[in-house]
Amino acid sequence: MIDCTIRDGGLMNNWQFNDEFVLAVYQALVESGVDYMEIGYKSSEKAYSRKENGPWKFCDDKDLRRIVGENMTDIKLSAMADIGRIEYDDIAPKSESLLDMIRVACYVNQMDKAIALAEHCMDKGYEVTINLMAVSKVMERDLDEALNDVAKSRVPIFYLVDSYGSMYCEQIEDLMNKYKNALPGKTIGIHAHNNMQLAFSNTISAIIHNANMLDSTIFGLGRGAGNCHTEILLSFLKNPKYRLAPLFKVIQEHFLPLQKKVTWGYHIPYLITGSMNFHPRSAMAWMESDNHDDFLTFYNNILDGKDIE
């Protein structure tokens, strides 16, 4: 299990979480037995401003150590790197970092660069994955070419990512089978968004078809409609290594207060973009406007071709 709360949730507040919140999430995940904590992004300052984005957009080692010390626990730390928004030199050797894993996120036309960056990170000592985003928009021929490239690479883990929260279980099943057949010997992961209230069920569908890396976020905190909930997934897995009480405690003490300041989770505008297989950015902008409860106008705008990609 990889909990992505700080990384994916940071998309809702520009990673402006205070240290108390990040530390509380870290401690809850350690106590609950979750395997990985994705604590943010590795990003270049050439791509993002530190004035606009909090420290978890960059995951500098000094910030990691301020929160987790030397991380003398069983949990591993992960960060995500977007192709085109990171320089090779921004990634220190594993021996100099508290991070254990770098997850490379890319679009299908960036697969060659994603493989190169992932193998570069492997050479520096990190565990790696490639997360192919927006696969619901990818033509089959392009996907097949990308999978063929990944199959020939050293990258051991590849993710099925429902970026727009637009997929149903049948699509998850088809893609899991495609990925498994195209990538023998590699591990497949699942990262689901909750635009149509299907993140949890789609994660189960992926598990049934042998997904072995499972992404989730506490209380569903993530971009737009959020993700599969960590506490729900742990309840479903019923593995004795996992414990729920620490998650309930951190939700009660930290997430409920945060919810009064930051809005995330299922909402009609996210349903509309998800059902139409659109990027959620227009719904996120609508939710920030004074008209956020005017669902019909947003729906008609989408139908008229306004406010979309």
273 and 239 housed in the same domain: no
240 and 284 belong to one structural domain: no
In this structure, is the dihedral angle defined by the CA atoms of residues 258, 262, 267 and 271, taken in order, positive or negative? negative
Give CA–CA dist 252/239, Å, rounded. Answer: 23
Residue 15 sits in the same domain as residue 141: yes
User: Residues 35, 146: one domain?
Assistant: yes
Q: Indicate if 165 and 251 belong to the same structural domain.
A: yes
Output the six-digit token pair for 97. 């970092």
Q: State pLDDT tens for residues 99-135.
A: 999 999 999 999 999 999 999 999 999 999 999 999 9
Distance between first and last Cα of the chain: 32
The count of domains in the chain is: 2
**Spatial contact of 124 and 96, defined as CB atoms under 8 Å apart:** no
Write out the DSSP string of 206-227: HHHTT--EEEEBGGG-SSTT-B
In a domain, residue 308? The reply is no
% of the chain at pLDDT higher than 70: 99
> Which CATH number do you get for residue 127?
3.20.20.70
Domain of residue 226 covers 2-259
Beta partners for 157?
Answer: 187
What distance in Å separates the CA atoms of residue 37 and residue 279, rounded to the nearest whole number?
25
Distance, in Å, from the CA atom of 264 to the CA atom of 12, rounded to the nearest integer, reads 7
Interval 182-202: pLDDT, tens: 999 999 999 999 999 999 999
pLDDT of 66 above 50: yes
Place of tokens 């919140």: 21
Please report which confidence band the pLDDT of residue 24 belongs to, taking 50, 70 and 90 as the band edges. very high
Task: Note whether 286 and 218 are same-domain residues.
Answer: no
Does some domain include residue 88?
Answer: yes
Residue 252: inside a domain: yes
pLDDT of residue 182: 98
Helices (H), the chain: 5-9, 19-32, 61-68, 111-123, 140-151, 169-182, 199-208, 230-237, 245-250, 256-259, 268-275, 281-287, 295-303
Torsional class of 263: left (φ above 0), alpha (ψ -120 to 50), beta (otherwise): beta
With CA atoms as reference, report the closest residue to 40 among 51, 250, 68, 32. 68
CB 250 within 8 A of CB 25: yes
pLDDT of residue 305: 82
Q: Is residue 295 helix, strand or coil?
A: helix
Question: Is the domain of 239 the same as that of 282?
Answer: no
Q: Any idea which residue has 């737009």 for tokens? A: 224
Residues 190 and 288 in one domain: no
Q: What is the pLDDT of residue 307?
A: 57
Predicted confidence (pLDDT) at residue 309 exceeds the cutoff of 80: no
Does the structure show a pLDDT above 70 at 28? yes
Do 275 and 246 have their domain in common? Answer: no
Mean pLDDT, rounded, of the chain:
97
Give yes or no for a contact between 161 and 133, defined as CB atoms under 8 angstroms apart.
yes
Q: What digits encode the pLDDT tens for the residues 249-299?
A: 999 999 999 999 999 999 999 999 999 999 999 999 999 999 999 999 999
Answer yes or no: is pLDDT of 27 > 90: yes
SS3 string of 65-83? Answer: HHHHCCCCCCCEEEEEEEC
d(CA 262, CA 254): 12
Distance, CA of 233 to CA of 163 (rounded, Å): 19
Percent pLDDT > 90 in the chain is 97
309 found inside a domain: no
Spatial CA neighbour of 236 closest among 280, 182, 283, 200 = 200
Task: Tell me, yes or no, whether 147 and 165 share the same domain.
Answer: yes
Q: Are residues 215 and 273 in the same domain?
A: no
Distance between CA atoms of residues 222 and 199, nearest Å: 12
Same-domain status, 150 and 32: yes
